[in-house]
Amino acid sequence: MTSKYFSFVMGLLTLLYCYLLGSQAIKMIETGKPVGIAMGSLLLFFPVLAMVLTVREFIFGSAVEKLGRKIEAAGQWPVFDLEIRPSGRPTKASAAAEFERQKKIVESKPDDYLSWFALGLAYDAAGDRRRARESMRKALKLSR
């Protein structure tokens, strides 16, 4: 729930950023001067980009959460053998071992979305967020 709250706050801050930057860009364009028009036009690009990326992230997060609920409801949530630190995060050694186990499962079942979902969780536990996201995207694609 904390991550949802954080995402919501970040989304609101992005909206505020877009509003403030966009209003300054429009003021520059309204000067009618070539430099103002050029700078204002370029400045409008960044709020649009921020909004597109923010919406994309919310859609991705929502889709992964929906898939996770589906997997959990079916009683297929992956179980990991991890040594947990007092902070709640797994130790690097146990995360790496679990990652290797999940990687072998994916190699044996490359078209199984459950395997890719579990691999994504294992990547996340190992601290590799980029590959975790790639694995979750693959799981989403295969689950359709």
pLDDT 10s digits, 103-127: 899 999 999 999 999 999 988 888 8
Max Cα separation, the chain? 64
Can you give the residue range of the structural domain that contains 133? 92-143
Residues 7 and 63 in one domain: yes
Mark which of 73, 108, 135 sits at the end of a domain.
73
Give mean pLDDT, residues 24-31: 93
Mark which of 43, 73, 103 sits at the end of a domain.
73
Residues 51 and 96 in one domain: no
The answer to the question of residue 42 being in a domain is yes
Residues 102 and 138 in one domain: yes
**CATH code of the domain in which 138 resides:** 1.25.40.10
The answer to the question of residue 50 being in a domain is yes
The answer to the question of residue 33 being in a domain is yes
Rounded to an integer, what distance in angstroms lies between the CA atom of residue 27 and that of residue 83? 56
Give the pLDDT score at 87.
84
User: In DSSP terms, which residues pair with 84 in a beta bridge?
Assistant: 90
**Which of 95, 87, 131, 136 lies closest to 114 in space, CA to CA?**
136
Give mean pLDDT, residues 76-87: 87
Q: Grade residue 1 by pLDDT with cuts at 50, 70 and 90.
A: low
Token pair 């890719």 is found at 116
Instruction: Considering only CA atoms, give the Rg of the chain.
Output: 21
Percent of the chain surpassing pLDDT 90: 47
Domain count, the chain: 2
Residues 17 and 69 in one domain: yes
Rounded to an integer, what distance in angstroms lies between the CA atom of residue 58 and that of residue 49? 14
Residues 24 and 51 in one domain: yes
Burial of 90 (0-12, 13-18, 19+ CB in 10 A): buried
Residues 68 and 8 in one domain: yes
Find how far residue 22's CA is from the centre of its chain. Answer: 25
Residue 18: half-sphere exposure toward Cβ, Cα within 13 Å: 16
